[in-house]
Structure 1
């Protein structure tokens, strides 16, 4: 009888032991991917070129086209998604006609969940052909099933299926570092993207923020000056849902400063009241208000890496083709990024400070001694590149000045 009980105990414990062994095999003591969450200006330039050459607003229904996507852009995209939504890190590389994706998620107790997946075209569609969790191999069929379920659970199942249906073929080209995707364009893809970009609550917040800004400026003379601090003090604070309200206020203000019609994102905005054009300034300069607000909006909606990357790309592009690289503009970018991050991470603290009154000097540190108008030749002579010790030293000085402001402490 004792043997019988022992045998039954072993049978009952087997599933538990197997599950425990699987957990042990899946969890690692070291991260597989270690990198920063920064996005390079190169990636921003690549996205701009792809959108310019394949603008979805100008695609004809049923038209077949091909797009070459750089592997390094996919790499930075995976790292951004891993950092933004999983608080981890990720990477991607092409080897022998296969895309290799890796993601590391930090677990409590300094343990790590390392996920690897080999991606290859199967019948012209992207598919996982090999996967593992730590040392635990995962059957390809199960990995693809879990991926589809995860996408469906996130609420993007129908959009994912639309994208898959549009893809006609995929070619992996390790030699050129490109993944070539041939697709048949369907306008539903853009319609669905617009529909899921903003929730009903976010659209309601945008409507309220738009009305608030229009009312604030309605009695001012067209083109009259107003400081950014005044506008933020009047439009940002909120008693309920401060993050949602604040993000909407920033997006409305960014659209006004950049002269972008919100109706392109929210069709209903066509009927919203017109916001009077006034001269919004920060530190006495209109361009610094633009830099601050656009960066704050990007940080609040997409995260700090996106805001920093776009700000740096803009200055490098100005050095080549525009007014020249400006560390003053970069300071306004970083100040705006910090403001947007503060809104998302510590909204109550931000609301308290904004309600107490704002002045330009609280948003932006002293900047008049920072170099600007550096065209490409002069920029290279003085700073070489964003990776040089000289550039990094000045960047640290900008961060030190921002750290000295109570708002960003």
Structure 2
């Protein structure tokens, strides 16, 4: 009797497993399609990158005046520019947005590499007194939007062990649309931002890593060096020399060198780049109410902006997916083309790309120790960043379009290739 029961139990389990496999297979087949839903290119979407400055201004006002209600307006151009950044970093991803008075559609396509198949998704967002997603389609599957929204809400709440998603959704008091534009009426954000700080704090404590601990150590170490007290700007190579020398002392193996080099780069990005980079690293400031910073900023080619571009890009290279750091740097330059910006700068882009390359060689196990040794005897900035003479900068949007048209034009790519050529000639980056 017992053997028969066990036998039937195994049969039932086997049937359930087969049904699950069959169901998963059916869902996968329905989700995958042979033609892409979206064929847009990042280059056309990025033409409106300068419009994102206005959106950032709205968000900054909403966050700074958190005890008031606000209206936040997003245009198709702004949303598609942000999608374009993702597409620039992830070439297999494409997205397009359309906003009309009766609803907004979001269409996405992901190309499955080397298969000729695509995962297509679309969502319909409707105006109303809350965030309303009418339906979501993934391939040939249709999912009621309210169920997906509820699932995402519960998932985020569960993952963060909070009510952050519920609070965020409750802040949306009204959604209105007109051609090419969506406006959100949001309530006061103080409760949301308070909850967000608690979530960030809890997660950083739970997930504190050796990299975070070392980054905090090098931040304190560098802030205590004599160069930090200089009344004159100090070259970034001086900070790198100090940090990498200490990293070399602490590294017994190539694996140690990789970890310590990462920590030095992240600490410098926080110290001489921008203290807000620390929010991506974790709680590394000795005093949460007063960020450490040098008396005078670091420089490259006698420019503080280039030192910041270099070291922040290096940090982003370590913290982001491959390609995302360069895409962010390029997007920032496109934003600067607008009124009030510094203009598109291939010089800044050269600093970004040099920082990316430095981060890569400093954290590859085959070259990490070599970078430590090179930094110990470095004599010139031209060992980590190439000469910038002849690289265009300060281009307004109109001047950029007249000269380069877009970011995938032949003449634009020629400038980028020239930067890559100059970087490739630096001995430190030859692998």
TM-score w.r.t. length of structure 1: 0.75
Deviation at 1:211, TM superposition (A): 0.3
Residues 257, 369 of structure 2: 8 Å contact kept: no
2:311 to 279, 287, 293: 293
For 2:368, the equivalent position in structure 1 comes to 351
| 2:136 matches 1:131 | yes
1:113 and 2:116 matched: no
Give the 3 Å change call, closer, same or farther, for CA 379–213 of structure 1 in structure 2: same
Deviation string 1:116-137 (CA, Å, 9 cap, x unpaired) is: 222224x522232122221222
- Residue-by-residue CA offset, 1:248-269 (whole Å, 9 max, x unaligned): 6445434543575889996863
**Secondary structure of the equivalent of 1:348?**
coil
Pair 1:15–1:368, CA change in 2 (3 A)? closer
Q: 1:389 to 1:363 in 2, by over 3 A?
A: same
Cα distance in 1 for partners of 2:421, 2:26 equals 48
Gaps of 5+ in 1: 1-7
Please list, as runs of the form range in 1=range in 2, the aligned pairs for 1:94-113 lying within 5 A after superposition: 94-95=99-100, 97-107=102-112, 110=115, 111-113=117-119
TM-aligned CA distance change 1:154 to 1:334, over 3 Å: farther
| From 207, 211, 217, the counterpart of 2:216 | 207
Q: Distance in 1 between matches of 2:412 and 2:296?
A: 35
Shift, 1:171, TM fit: 1.0
The offset of 1:169, in angstroms, is: 0.7
- The CA distance in 1 between the partners of 2:62 and 2:430, in whole Å, is 39
Question: What pairs with 1:167-178 in structure 2 (closer than 5 Å)?
Answer: 167-173=172-178, 175=179, 177-178=180-181
* Aligned counterparts, 1:178-193, within 5 A: 178-193=181-196
* 1:282 maps to which of 285, 290, 300: 300
Aligned to 2:387: 366
Paired with 1:14 and 1:322, the residues of 2 have a C-alpha distance of 58
Asked if 1:253 is matched to 2:268, the reply is yes
**Whole-Å Cα distance in 1 between the matches of residues 429 and 23 of structure 2?**
52
RMSD of aligned residue pairs (Cα, Å) = 4.3
Matched residue SS, 1:208:
helix
2:42–2:87 CA contact under 8 A, matched in 1: no
1:313 positional shift: 3.0
CA gap of 1:388–1:140, structure 2 versus 1, over 3 A, is closer
Say how many residue pairs are matched: 390
Query: Are the structure 2 counterparts of residues 257 and 232 from structure 1 closer, same or farther at C-alpha, using a change threshold of 3 Å?
Result: same
| 8 Å CA contact 1:65, 1:184 repeated in 2 | yes
Specify the SS of the correspondent of 2:287.
helix
Deviations 1:259-305, CA, capped at 9 Å, x for gaps: 75889996863577855425633345444223312333444445322
Give the whole-Å Cα distance in 2 for the aligned partners of 1:381 and 1:71. Answer: 24
Contact 2:227 2:234 (8 Å CA) reproduced: no
Structure 1 CA distance for aligned equivalents of residues 341 and 21 of structure 2: 65
Alignment of 1:155 with 2:160, yes or no, is: yes
Query: Cα offset for 1:57?
Result: 4.4
> 1:167 offset after TM fit, Å?
1.2
Q: Cα offset for 1:182?
A: 0.4
* Alignment partners' CA distance in 2, 1:16 and 1:375: 56
